[in-house]
Amino acid sequence: MSRLGDMGRHAGGLYRRAIRRGERPVEKLEAEVHHLHEIEQAGESGLTPFIAFGGLILFLLPIFLVMLGLALVAYYVF
C-alpha cells in the first residue's frame, strides 16, 4: 500500500506544478492590466487615451460578439 500512496503523492505534485505553471501567465497579465489601470487613473501619460479606449473596446467586444451570435442563430433558425 505504501507504493500506491507514493504514486498518489507524486501525481499530486505533478498536477500542482502543472496548474501553477498555467497560472503564471495569467498572473503576469493581471499585473500588467493593474499597471495600465494605475497609469490611466494618474492621467500623466500620453498613452492614457489609448489605454482608456482599449479598455472600452475590451469591455464592449464580448457584448457585441454575443449579440452577433444571437442574431446569426436567430437568422438561421427562423
Shared domain check, 26 and 4? yes
Shared domain check, 53 and 26? no
Q: What average pLDDT does the chain have?
A: 81
**Between 46 and 16, whose confidence is greater?**
46
Distance CA 10, CA 14 (A): 6
Mean pLDDT value across residues 42-59: 84
Domain boundaries, position 25:
1-42
> Which grid cell sits at 26?
495569467
Shared domain check, 59 and 23? no
